[in-house]
Amino acid sequence: MASVPADTPPWLQGLNAPQREAATTLDGAVLVLAGAGTGKTRALTARLAEILAHRRAWPSEILSVTFTNKAAAEMRHRLTAMIGPAAEGMPFVGTFHSIAARMLRRHAELAGLRSNFTILDTDDVLRLLKRIIIEAGIDEKRWPSRQLSSHIDRWKNRGQLPSEVPKGEAFAFADGRGAELYERYQRELRTLNACDFGDLLLHMIKIFEAHPDVLGEWQRRFKFVLVDEYQDTNAAQYRWLTLLAAPSLGGQGNICCVGDDDQSIYSWRGAEVANILRFERDFPDAKVIRLEQNYRSTPHILAAAAHVIANNKGRLGKTLWTEIPRGEKVNVIAVWDGPEEARLVGERIERLLREGVLPAEIAILVRASFQTREFEDRFISIGLPYRIVGGFRFYERAEVRDALAYLRLVAQPDDALAFERIVNVPKRGLGDKAQARIAAHARATGLTLPLAAQALVETDELGPAPRRSLADLLAGLRRWREQANSMEQGALAQLILEESGYIEALEKDRGAESAGRLDNLAELVRAMEGFTDLTSFLEHVSLVMENDRTDAEAKVTMMTLHAAKGLEFDHVFLPGWEEGLFPSQRALDENGAAALEEERRLAYVGITRARRRATLIHAANRRVYGQWTSAIPSRFLSELPPEHIDVESTLSGGASLWRAALDERDPFADIGRGTGRGPGWERASARGGLDRSTARKPQVINARPIQSTVGGAARDDLPLGGRVFHAKFGMGTVKSRDGNKLEIEFDQAGAKMVLDSFVEPA
Ligand code: ATP
Ligand code: MG
């Protein structure tokens, strides 16, 4: 940077030559294709400053698309720091959705809406679709609204109106009635003066196509168009961009898109990497700029990420280098199980904090949102403040709250709020009318809601059907209350979720999210297993919910890999790198080889979020639906370059046994040798690893019904008083037995409850 002239404006200072080219080539199309951390977002921000500083456009004449509203706020903030108040009032800096909504308010009538239209959330959409399905005389149980909703999303992501839905696809729903229902839905939305998220862009595209004058007005307005995270745009978004900017359609052609094909992680939302290739066709004179210097991560982190992503076939390929000093190797740690994983991460974070690292510089990135639970629980017990970004905290998720409401009612028969929440969840014919009766009875008699309900079933005030189903619910609650003390808490929750019909209702609901909801419930069951009684569990939950008082700066961040795009942290923990969990078996089942490549891109995104240190963790055992299963290290671990990683294991006695299960091989013996599947995990997979009771393929986290598993057949080779060996706790003596659980007095570790499949007669 020695040759930078003294009068270089501050926003260009420090940029390297290609970054500066991206920031200052204002006329024509520019495509910046570059790896993680190469300063794409920074160059894009400098470009905005350059445009404004040279008065090439007013703030309102720039369209700048970011990945989240938070990223937009960040961009505004940085701009203001760079060029002062000139950056204020940029109405068209935001996400595709927020910008399109703003435009649509102005032209609502062209889409058959009024400008004060409402934007429906997912729940509203589902309710509406359900009504439409039923009114069309279709069996909603067989053809659930969630399924229709994902079809409609897909069509909208492609910019297709009902009349444009491909014939074959309309058949995917209700024997060929998909497009017709989509049509009814759109009509209904118009009557309601409402639209869904997909409509925001779709309406604008159709308005532009039908009204050249409107399109012309916006084309003249937007002198510059900028797009961050370009690799994740879908067909509708791309169409909208080209309508606004492509010279062949009348746009001004000054467009700059920055992206990284290796970070495309939203194909499930219709994102198409092919847009990158299409760009050069729609903007034929586009200048393509590549950035290769990474300013974020240490060489070890970069090398680790580069090795993993090199296993993908469908990529443009690029090199990355950095001048940042070596730093520490990427840490790969094997732990015994999920609780230990949380304990270890908690300890490492506390150590970092003692060393003066700020909590805001630490993140835990998970593949599936249910994974945060174990960390939330642990962090509460050690008093470590955390926040969950881009999602609800575990105990706040709707299905978890429903389940908790049942549990609260079992613990506390008078809990009226909990009763209200679940009286008709799942649907059992106790709708508004029945509920109003119960409430009226409660008011008249001064009884609490649950007691009023009890009194009411003994009268004939309710019709026979609601009366029966209310009686059933109340009988269930009484039964569960009786069982609560004699049952293991996890098993109790499982029983309640099954007998109440909650699980069944979720399973029938084949929507995009129901599998994740089942996972969350399974996680809740798992969370309860450590507790001796319901009250202490519920108390623990309220403590977890309390923990939201400190400000964001003082908190460790937890989020999914998907939400972490574009962000960076000094220290990144990546737990759960096990086959089935990551790569996600569900994704692989649905999309095969293409999904594996997308999972690998997620791994790349995850590792490259780290500035100074990345810690990858995998557990030897996971509890899945109450059953311990041995987990197999993620294949992505075997793709890491050995010279850039430090392998650690907290498995002491257990390590040797686990390794024996892996055919006497170090589980990491194959790390970095060759690509893809190392023989280590293949063999482990074939043998089912440690736990002989469940010879299991790595299909860990599939959405299956929760099976009642606690209290399986007990083994008879472990008599009371007998000596046993446990992989983690060593030698011990059996004290008592409860189903397949043993109380063992370990010589070193003291008394513990363990599952019998985890011990051997000594
Ligand atoms: P991602 O692909 O993850 O979105 P990116 O390419 O957008 O990454 P940025 O977030 O813009 O990268 O930059 C990564 C880090 O490097 C930031 O902390 C940024 O401030 C810093 N950085 C970018 N360019 C330079 C530069 N020329 N000199 C010093 N630091 C830089
Ligand atoms: Mg970026």
Around ion ligand 2, residues with a beta carbon closer than 5 Å are 40-41, 566
Q: What is the mean pLDDT of residues 561-583?
A: 94
Query: Read out DSSP for 576-630?
Result: --BTBTTTBHHHHHHHHHHHHHHHHHHHHHHHTTEEEEEEEEEEEEEEETTEEEE
* Residue 543 confidence class, pLDDT cut points 50, 70, 90: low
Cβ count near 161 (within 10 Å)? 15
CA distance 77 to 41: 13
Q: Is the pLDDT confidence value at 640 over 80?
A: yes
Asked if residue 740 lies in contact with residue 729, where contact means CB atoms within 8 angstroms, the answer is no
Same domain, 262 and 280: yes
Query: pLDDT (tens digit, 9 = 90+) per residue, 311-327?
Result: 998 788 788 889 988 89
**What atom of ligand 1 comes closest to residue 567's alpha carbon?**
3
Which of 12, 42, 266 maximizes ligand 1 atoms within 8 Å of its Cβ, making it the mutation to test the pocket? Answer: 42
Which of 19, 20, 38, 40 is catalytic? The answer is 40
Q: Is residue 517 part of a domain?
A: yes
* Residue 746 dihedral angles phi and psi, to the nearest 5°: -85, 145
Q: Which of 2-16, 249-263, 315-329 has the highest mean pLDDT?
A: 249-263
Q: Which residue has the higher pLDDT, 315 or 206?
A: 206
Domain-terminating residue out of 293, 326, 357: 293
Instruction: Quote the domain boundaries for residue 497.
Output: 395-543
Q: What is the mean pLDDT of residues 586-598?
A: 89
Q: What is the mean pLDDT of residues 148-155?
A: 92
**What atom of ligand 1 comes closest to residue 35's alpha carbon?**
2
Q: Is residue 707 part of a domain?
A: no
Query: Read out DSSP for 327-375?
Result: -PPEEEEEEEEHHHHHHHHHHHHHHHHHTT--GGGEEEEESSGGGHHHH
Active-site residue, 40 included: yes
Cβ count near 459 (within 10 Å)? 10
Active-site residue, 229 included: yes
Give me the pLDDT at residue 501, please: 93
* Ligand 2 midpoint to CA 570 (Å): 16
Q: Is the pLDDT confidence value at 699 over 60?
A: no
Q: Which residue has the higher pLDDT, 689 or 240?
A: 240
14 lines ligand 1 (CB under 6 A): yes
Same domain, 618 and 738: no
Same domain, 399 and 522: yes
Q: Is residue 716 part of a domain?
A: no
* Residue 712 confidence class, pLDDT cut points 50, 70, 90: very low
48's CB contacts (< 8 A; 6+ apart) are: 62, 64, 75, 79, 87, 226
Asked if residue 615 lies in contact with residue 574, where contact means CB atoms within 8 angstroms, the answer is yes
**What atom of ligand 1 comes closest to residue 45's alpha carbon?**
11
Which of 13, 41, 565, 572 maximizes ligand 1 atoms within 8 Å of its Cβ, making it the mutation to test the pocket? Answer: 41
Asked if residue 35 lies in contact with residue 320, where contact means CB atoms within 8 angstroms, the answer is yes
* Ligand 1 midpoint to CA 720 (Å): 62
Q: Is residue 4 part of a domain?
A: no
Q: What is the mean pLDDT of residues 724-746?
A: 78
Asked if residue 481 lies in contact with residue 113, where contact means CB atoms within 8 angstroms, the answer is no
Give the residue carrying structure tokens 């999309």. Answer: 591
* Residue 701 confidence class, pLDDT cut points 50, 70, 90: very low
* Residue 727 confidence class, pLDDT cut points 50, 70, 90: low
Q: Is the pLDDT confidence value at 657 over 70?
A: no
Give me the pLDDT at residue 705, please: 28
Give me the pLDDT at residue 545, please: 66
Give me the pLDDT at residue 288, please: 93
Q: Is the pLDDT confidence value at 98 over 80?
A: yes
Which range is least confidently modeled, 74-83, 218-227, 526-535, 713-722? 713-722
Q: What is the CATH number of the domain that holds 130?
A: 1.10.10.160
Which range is least confidently modeled, 62-71, 146-155, 244-253, 267-276? 267-276
Q: What is the CATH number of the domain that holds 467?
A: 1.10.486.10
Which range is least confidently modeled, 67-81, 191-205, 569-583? 67-81
* Residue 337 confidence class, pLDDT cut points 50, 70, 90: very high
Q: Is the pLDDT confidence value at 250 over 70?
A: yes
Q: Is residue 285 part of a domain?
A: yes
* Ligand 2 midpoint to CA 41 (Å): 4
42 lines ligand 1 (CB under 6 A): yes
Give me the pLDDT at residue 5, please: 64
Q: Which residue has the higher pLDDT, 107 or 649?
A: 107
Which range is least confidently modeled, 263-267, 505-509, 537-541, 561-565? 537-541
Kindly state the tokens that stand for 34: 């570059």
**What atom of ligand 1 comes closest to residue 263's alpha carbon?**
2
Q: Which residue has the higher pLDDT, 43 or 193?
A: 43
Same domain, 555 and 539: no
Q: Is the pLDDT confidence value at 688 over 50?
A: no
Same domain, 588 and 469: no
Q: What is the CATH number of the domain that holds 565?
A: 3.40.50.300
* Ligand 1 midpoint to CA 41 (Å): 7
Give the residue carrying structure tokens 């619910």. Answer: 473
**What atom of ligand 1 comes closest to residue 42's alpha carbon?**
11
Which of 258, 263, 295, 365 maximizes ligand 1 atoms within 8 Å of its Cβ, making it the mutation to test the pocket? Answer: 295
Give me the pLDDT at residue 343, please: 96
Query: pLDDT (tens digit, 9 = 90+) per residue, 46-88?
Result: 999 999 999 999 999 999 998 887 788 888 888 888 888 877 7
Same domain, 521 and 622: no
Q: Is the pLDDT confidence value at 713 over 50?
A: no
* Ligand 2 midpoint to CA 384 (Å): 29
* Ligand 1 midpoint to CA 593 (Å): 31
Which range is least confidently modeled, 227-231, 591-595, 615-619, 724-728? 724-728
Which range is least confidently modeled, 130-144, 222-236, 390-404, 466-480? 390-404
392 lines ligand 1 (CB under 6 A): no
Closest residue (by CA) to atom 2 of ligand 1?
36
Give me the pLDDT at residue 174, please: 86
Q: What is the mean pLDDT of residues 418-428?
A: 91
348 lines ligand 1 (CB under 6 A): no
Query: pLDDT (tens digit, 9 = 90+) per residue, 109-130?
Result: 999 998 878 777 776 788 789 8
Q: Which ligand is nearest to the CA of 23?
A: 1
Closest residue (by CA) to atom 9 of ligand 1?
39
Helix/strand/coil (H, E, C) string of 213-255?
Answer: HHHHHHHHHCCEEEECCHHHCEHHHHHHHHHHHCHHHCCCCCE
Closest residue (by CA) to atom 16 of ligand 1?
295
In 3-state terms, what secondary structure has residue 443?
A: helix
Which of 609, 612, 613, 728 is catalytic? The answer is 609
**What atom of ligand 1 comes closest to residue 43's alpha carbon?**
11
Q: Is residue 9 part of a domain?
A: no
Same domain, 405 and 517: yes
* Residue 302 confidence class, pLDDT cut points 50, 70, 90: very high
Closest residue (by CA) to atom 21 of ligand 1?
295
Task: Count how many domains the chain has.
Answer: 5
Give me the pLDDT at residue 331, please: 96
Q: Is the pLDDT confidence value at 273 over 80?
A: no
Same domain, 539 and 401: yes
Q: Is residue 702 part of a domain?
A: no
**What atom of ligand 1 comes closest to residue 229's alpha carbon?**
4
Closest residue (by CA) to atom 27 of ligand 1?
15
Give me the pLDDT at residue 660, please: 41
Same domain, 39 and 65: yes
* Ligand 2 midpoint to CA 561 (Å): 14
CA distance 198 to 152: 9
Which of 160, 263, 322, 371 is catalytic? The answer is 263
Question: How distant is the alpha carbon of residue 428 from its chain centre?
Answer: 31
Asked if residue 641 lies in contact with residue 672, where contact means CB atoms within 8 angstroms, the answer is yes
Q: Is residue 11 part of a domain?
A: no
* Ligand 1 midpoint to CA 488 (Å): 51
Same domain, 239 and 95: yes
Q: What is the mean pLDDT of residues 3-17?
A: 83
Domain-terminating residue out of 265, 293, 321: 293
15 lines ligand 1 (CB under 6 A): yes
Same domain, 501 and 628: no
574's CB contacts (< 8 A; 6+ apart) are: 364, 365, 606, 607, 614, 615, 616, 617
Domain-terminating residue out of 263, 293, 323: 293
293 lines ligand 1 (CB under 6 A): no
* Residue 557 confidence class, pLDDT cut points 50, 70, 90: very high
Active-site residue, 402 included: no
Q: Is the pLDDT confidence value at 348 over 50?
A: yes
Active-site residue, 41 included: yes
CA distance 432 to 445: 20
Q: Which residue has the higher pLDDT, 713 or 277?
A: 277
CA distance 293 to 295: 6
How close are the terminal C-alpha atoms of the chain, in Å?
A: 68
Q: Which ligand is nearest to the CA of 296?
A: 1
Query: Given CA atoms 440, 446, 451, 456 in this order, what sign does their dihedral have?
Result: negative
Same domain, 335 and 368: yes
